[in-house]
Chain A
Amino acid sequence: MNWFRRLKEGIQTATRFKKPIPEDLWVKCPKCGDTVTRKKLEEYHHTCPKCNYHFRIGPKEYFRIFFDGHYTLLFEEIHPVDVLGFVDLKPYTQRLREAREKTSSTEAITVAQGKIQKIPVVIAAMDFGFIGGSMGAVMGERICRAIDRCIEERMPLIIVSKSGGARMMEAAFSLMQMAKTTVKLTQLADAGLPYISYMTDPTTGGVTASFAMLGDVNIAEPGALIAFAGPRVVRETIKRDLPEGFQTAEFLYEKGFIDVIVDRKEAKATIAQILQVLHHRHLPTRKTKSTSSD
C-alpha cells in the first residue's frame, strides 16, 4: 500500500473560498522563480532583475519602451473577417471576440507612429495573447499600410515579432500574407528605407519564414525561441530530445541568422544607433566627436 498516494487530484479549495490577494502586485519569474513587484518589473522593462528573463509583453509595453513618450496608433479601423466560416472546437468569430476581450488589442498586430531618440519611425508590434499572435489578413494589411506610411514620410520600419505563425482559421488567405508582406518589403527597399526586424519570444512559422527573417538588421531578444517548426513538432518528427538551447536566439546567432542579440533594456539605444547610420540620408547631420587623434 502506498500511504502517500494523493487520493484526489488538484486543488480542492473552491474558488469562492480563495483568499483575496491583490492581483498584479507581485510577479513570479517563470525562469528563476523569484518574485518581484510589478513596479520594479516595469522599471526593468519587464525583465527579471535577478536572472534577466525577458517576460512576454504586448504591443503597448513595447511602444512605451521604444517611443519617446507620445505615439499615435494607426490602422486600428482594419478588422478581421471570418471569410471561410471557420469552425473547429469553437467558431473563429468566437475566438476573435474572446481574444479582443482578453488582450485589449484589436488584432494580433498593432501599428504605431512615433519617435525613437527623435527619429520618426513606424513600429508594428505583435500580441501573442491574440490567437497566438497569428498572422491573418489583418496583420498582412496593417503591415502593408505601415510600409506605405513609411514610404510616404520617409521613415524606417520596425516590426516586433511575437507569433506562432500563420492563422489556420484563415487557411490559404493567411498563407498568402507571407507573400503579400514580402512583396511590400521590396517596395520599402526600393525606397531606400531601413527595416529592422526585432524578434522576441516566440517567433515561429510563417512569420519567421517571411518578413521576420528579412530585416536589413535582424535583432533578437536573449533566450527567444525563433524557429520555423516549433520544438514540439521537431521533437515528434525526429523522435528524440532536442539539443540544449536548440532554436534559441543564441543558437541562430551562432548559425549566422541574427545580427545582434540585445537586452530589452538596451534595445532602444541599439535601434537608434543602427538607424543613425542606415537612415543617415534623412536625418540631420550627427554631431560626433572626432575620434582621430589631432
Chain B
Amino acid sequence: MVFLEFEKPLEKLYTQLEKLKQIAQDGDIDMSDKIREVEQKIKKKQKEIYSSLTPWQRVQLSRHPQRPYTLYYIEKMTKYFVELHGDRCMGDDKAIVGGLAYLDQQPIVCIGHQKGINTKQRQLRNFGMAHPHGYRKALRLMKMAEKFAIPVVVFVDTPGAACGLEAEEFSVAQAIARNLYEMARLRTPILVYIIGEGASGGAIGIGVGDRVFMLENTWYSVISPESCSSILWRSWDHKEKAAEALKLTPKDMLQFGLIDEIVKEPPGGAHYQPEAMAKSLKKHIKKHIKELLEIPIDTLIQQRAEKYLNMGVYSIADQPSSDKTP
C-alpha cells in the first residue's frame, strides 16, 4: 500500500497491524484483542483524516497511484466487454478506451480516460492525456451508441488533454469542440462519472451528459491547481492555495449545481476497497440508466440542453455590481 504524506499516521498503524498478525501466526499466540484494538485505531484515525481533507489533499488522493482506473471498473462491473479501437482515421489513442459491454441485462457503450498502472503503461497511456484521435474515437463510439439505442457511460480521469506537436497539428481543440457539439444532441442517454481527475477541456471533451457524478475523492475544474498556480501566482509553489481558490471539490461542485450527485467511496478512498467501490458504482449506474431510459428521447435532449444553459452566475443591472464582493 502506498501512503500519501498526510496518511503517514495510518502507515504506522498498518505496519503495527502487520507485525501483530505475523506474531500471531508465527507464535501461535492469541493476539486477537490487540489486533482488534489496532484495527479500531485505524478506523478512528481514518475517520479523522478523511473527514477534514483540504482541497489539495483531495487532489492528491484523486491521483493516488493505486486508485482504480476506467478499465478496472469496466472489468469488475460488466460482462462480455469488447474493447473497440481506433478513430477510423488517424490511429488508436491509448489514453481513451471504449467498447461494448453488458451491465447485467443492460447493454452499454463505455468510454473513459485510461491511465497506466506502471511506468511503461503510464507512458503508453500518456498519463490519461488524450490526443485528437482519442476524442474522435470516443465520438465514433457515441454515434454507434446512438445508432443502436444504447446508453453511454463515461468515466473521466484526466489531468488535461494531450499537449504537444501532434495534439495541436491535428487540433485537439477541434476534436473537443466537435464532441461537445455532438454530445449536446446525442439521441441516447449519457451518464458521466468523474472517477479521478477532471481537468479542463480534456475532461469535458467526453464529459457532457444527462447526469454528471463525481466520486468522493476527485476534482473537476478548468485547470489543474499546479498550472493555475504557475499562471496566476507565477510559480508552482502555490498549488495548495490554487486548489483552495478553484473550489474544485465534489462538495463545491454539487453546491454550485454543476454536478448532480456525489458517489460515496469506501473509507480511505476507492483504492482501499476497489471491489466494493466497483460494486456500489455499478448499482449507481444501473439505477440512473433505468431512470433515463424512461424519459422520452426528445425530452431528454431538451433537459440536457437546459441543464447546461442554466450554468453560470451573472448579474443583470445597469451598473456592474462586482465592484463589491458579495
Instruction: Indicate if the CB atoms of A255 and B171 lie closer than 8 Å.
Output: yes
For the complex, is A279 an interface residue (Cβ under 8 Å from B)? no
Which of B66-74, B272-280, B310-318 sits within the interface? B310-318
**A-B pairs with CB below 8 Å: how many?**
216
Q: Which residues of B contact A140 (CB under 8 A)?
A: 311-312
Known: A141-B314, A168-B228, A210-B177. A97 touches B323 (CB 8 A): yes
Q: Report A184 CB to chain B, min CB distance, Å.
A: 7
Q: Which residues of A contact B178 (CB under 8 A)?
A: 213-214
Q: Which residues of A contact B316 (CB under 8 A)?
A: 77-79
In the assembled complex, the Cα of A86 lies from the Cα of B242 at a distance in Å of 10
Contact among A89, A213, A233, A246 with B171 in the assembled complex (CB-CB below 8 Å): A213
Residue of B nearest to A247 (CB): B168
Instruction: Indicate if the CB atoms of A234 and B312 lie closer than 8 Å.
Output: no
Contact among A138, A184, A247, A252 with B309 in the assembled complex (CB-CB below 8 Å): A184
For the complex, is B60 an interface residue (Cβ under 8 Å from A)? no
Instruction: Indicate if the CB atoms of A179 and B208 lie closer than 8 Å.
Output: yes
Instruction: Indicate if the CB atoms of B168 and A246 lie closer than 8 Å.
Output: yes
Q: Which residues of B contact A176 (CB under 8 A)?
A: 204, 258, 308, 311-312
In the assembled complex, the Cα of A179 lies from the Cα of B318 at a distance in Å of 28
For the complex, is A209 an interface residue (Cβ under 8 Å from B)? yes
The listed residue with most B CB atoms (<10 A of its CB), out of A136, A183, A255, is: A183
For the complex, is A81 an interface residue (Cβ under 8 Å from B)? yes
For the complex, is B2 an interface residue (Cβ under 8 Å from A)? no
Q: Which residues of B contact A137 (CB under 8 A)?
A: 311-314
Instruction: Indicate if the CB atoms of A79 and B321 lie closer than 8 Å.
Output: yes
For the complex, is A106 an interface residue (Cβ under 8 Å from B)? yes
For the complex, is B164 an interface residue (Cβ under 8 Å from A)? yes
What mask results when residues 296 to 326 of chain B are scored 1 for a CB within 8 Å of chain A, else 0?
Answer: 0000000011001101111111111111111
Instruction: Indicate if the CB atoms of A79 and B305 lie closer than 8 Å.
Output: no
Instruction: Indicate if the CB atoms of A168 and B314 lie closer than 8 Å.
Output: no
Q: Report A249 CB to chain B, min CB distance, Å.
A: 12
For the complex, is A205 an interface residue (Cβ under 8 Å from B)? yes
Contact among B163, B174, B232, B258 with A89 in the assembled complex (CB-CB below 8 Å): B232
In the assembled complex, the Cα of A82 lies from the Cα of B222 at a distance in Å of 16
Q: Report A197 CB to chain B, min CB distance, Å.
A: 10
For the complex, is A113 an interface residue (Cβ under 8 Å from B)? no
Residue of B nearest to A187 (CB): B305
Residue of A nearest to B301 (CB): A186
In the assembled complex, the Cα of A203 lies from the Cα of B313 at a distance in Å of 24
Q: Which residues of A contact B246 (CB under 8 A)?
A: 84, 168, 171-172
Q: Which residues of A contact B326 (CB under 8 A)?
A: 81-83, 85
Q: Which residues of A contact B314 (CB under 8 A)?
A: 78-81, 137-138, 141
Residue of A nearest to B241 (CB): A88
Instruction: Indicate if the CB atoms of A214 and B181 lie closer than 8 Å.
Output: yes
Contact among B177, B184, B205, B318 with A77 in the assembled complex (CB-CB below 8 Å): B318
Contact among B170, B181, B242, B322 with A182 in the assembled complex (CB-CB below 8 Å): B181
In the A-B complex, the 6 residue pairs with the smallest Cβ-Cβ separation, listed nearest first, are A137-B312, A228-B173, A88-B232, A208-B173, A182-B180, A175-B222
**Can you list 7 residue pairs at the A/B interface with Cβ under 8 Å?**
A171-B247, A173-B258, A209-B177, A210-B180, A213-B177, A228-B167, A243-B165
Other contacts beyond A82-B326, A93-B325, A183-B308: 10, CB < 8 A: A78-B316, A81-B314, A83-B326, A88-B245, A138-B314, A173-B256, A208-B173, A213-B173, A229-B161, A255-B170
